[in-house]
Amino acid sequence: VRLQLPRPHLRQAVQTMCVCVCIYTCVPEMCVFIYGIIYKISSRKSRAELMFFSTPTATDKVALLIGNLSYQNHPQLRAPMVDVYDLTNLLRQLNFKVVSLLDLTESEMRNAVDEFLLLLHKGVYGLLYYAGHGYENYGNSFMVPVDAPNPYRSANCLCVQSILKLMQEKETGLNVFLLDMCRKRNVHDDTTPNVVLKVTANIVFGYATCPDAEAFELNSSGFTNGVFIKFLKKRLLEDEKITVLLDRVAEDMGQFDPTKGKQALEIRSSLSERRALTDPVLPSGCWDEAQARNLQWAKAHELPESMCLNFEGGVQIKLGFAAEFSNVLVIYTSIVRKPVDISSCQAYVTNFTPELDVDPKEMNRVTPEETGSYLLSKNLPQHCLYTRLSSLQKLREQLVFTVCLQCTYAAMEEPVDWTMEVNIGKPLIARLDLHRPPRRSSCLQTCLMPHSPSHSPCHSPGAEQIQQYPCCFPSQLSGTYLGVESCELPHGSHSTFYGGSPHSDSALYHRYREADADEGPPFLASLTRVNIPIEASDDIEELQSSFIHCLQVHNRH
């Protein structure tokens, strides 16, 4: 029972309720007993009891995570895939409903934000994480889609403050933005959205870097986190006010030699209560509305059911599915049963729609890593053939493909082939049709209203609304890390960054070539699906000294 009453009134109400219950159940002898227990409990001044009645709660917790890495017209990135994957797993432990998406175009990003907004309502904790190219003009932050032209302007990008405005209209309990991108000025864009924000005491911005600075990812022969998530993931499960948690992350980042003086976490907050990502969920309002929102989220995360296919000749094949992200599906096949007169048989999948752009060389592989699925490999069954399908948001029709079976009989030299067509509908995020043109009521309307900066009623939460934390760090590392399994820096890596301004591409590219002229810049390679194995290392001190003199950069802009 949660009553918005002063403490003495609350105690009196609970006591009266217990007495009424006891009288109603005709157990008067229990009345005095229960009354005394309630009085003793309500009289205690323990910290635990005070926290029970004073801890803020969320009516729900929803997170949208976007990682853009395979850019069409700009340097490609590596870390966003690992960052989104690690953050997804951590937020799920905090009871967030998480939508995790990779490599979205402009229309897909706008539609994803629209679907995210449908899950928000009064009291919900909303969290938006973005990793990719970005920039900041006049206090407004812009996220760059993978299909953005070169150069791009605000009309080609999504304005974070415009999304905040739409979240405020939902009367959310907490709005958290974690922006893992650069904040350099875009000299090709002299406009800014006309975003008028409400004054609300529930906004937190965690910028991976300071204004007019870059955000780094650690570029190596293997997958690693960006610098921001590298330290955030060690703190995210702590039961602390979100601004306190981010302060500790800033302190940790300040001790990291490779980016010291180059990247510093900035926190902006208007938070007036002790709101934490660990706050419990206490649903309120109409039950039917809550169910509708839950179904909306579940619809985007519905996996096809595993199935057994029976072929002629008595062979049975198992077809299984796993989700790596909300728009990435892994299909695996295995032989469940084969007659004794068949010496060998193999099952594989083929004939996928061209919309998914599946590389035949990465289909039906013996290990998940060969398909590019390094993050999910530990959770998949062994002794199967694996196929990874990315960009499910582009799927316009139901997903239909062919399962082929090739068998060799002991009494025959030539193999025998059978095929079977399988329809698994629209899996995962494909159900939401993010490929459609953005709705008129979407964030598109608030993202395309240029005006002079001097006439902007409000850009990002300013000094009168938001407390801005300085970009400086204590010399001592404080707090305790939480052990979370993830990818660390491999030995011998070097660092790159996401962001900057379009005019700086040439100089940064030359800096890279001076250090690695033999191998060439990895971000210019074709990385539609990045196929680099994860490597892990816990020897941070050795890695720091190894990296300190070999930081190289490319832009997220």
The residues pairing with 451 across neighbouring beta strands, listed in sequence order, are 192
Whole-number Å distance between alpha carbons of 486 and 368: 18
Q: Is 327 left (phi over 0), alpha (psi -120 to 50) or beta?
A: alpha
Q: How far apart are the first and last CA of the chain?
A: 50
Contact indicator for 516, 58 with CB cutoff of 8 Å: no
* Residue 451 is among the residues annotated as catalytic for this protein: no
Whole-number Å distance between alpha carbons of 230 and 272: 28
* Residue 491 is among the residues annotated as catalytic for this protein: no
Name residue, tokens 């509908």: 425
Nearest to 362 by CA among 340, 386, 346, 338: 386
| Torsion angle in degrees (nearest 10) through CA of 27, 29, 34, 36 | 160
Among 18, 22, 74, 133, the active-site one is 133
- From residue 449, how far is each of 150, 191, 443, 455, 456 by CA, in Å? 21, 8, 11, 12, 11
Among 159, 182, 384, 447, the active-site one is 182
Nearest to 231 by CA among 255, 205, 198, 262: 255
Whole-number Å distance between alpha carbons of 498 and 53: 44
Which residues are CB-contacts of 235 (< 8 A; sequence separation ≥ 6)?
A: 245, 248, 249, 252, 479, 481, 482
Is the bond into 151 cis (omega within 30 degrees of 0)? yes
Contact indicator for 552, 511 with CB cutoff of 8 Å: yes
Establish how many alpha carbons lie within 13 A of residue 85's alpha carbon, considering only the half-sphere containing its beta carbon.
22
Q: Which two tokens stand for residue 8?
A: 């003495």
Whole-number Å distance between alpha carbons of 458 and 479: 36
Contact indicator for 141, 499 with CB cutoff of 8 Å: no
Amino acid at 234: K
* Burial state string for 237-264 with b = 16 or more CB within 10 A and e = fewer than 16: bbebbbbebbbbbbbbbbbbebbeebbb
| Torsion angle in degrees (nearest 10) through CA of 278, 279, 284, 289 | -20
Residue 505's CB is within 10 A of a number of other CB atoms, namely 17
Name residue, tokens 């229960």: 34
Residue positions annotated with a catalytic role: 133, 182
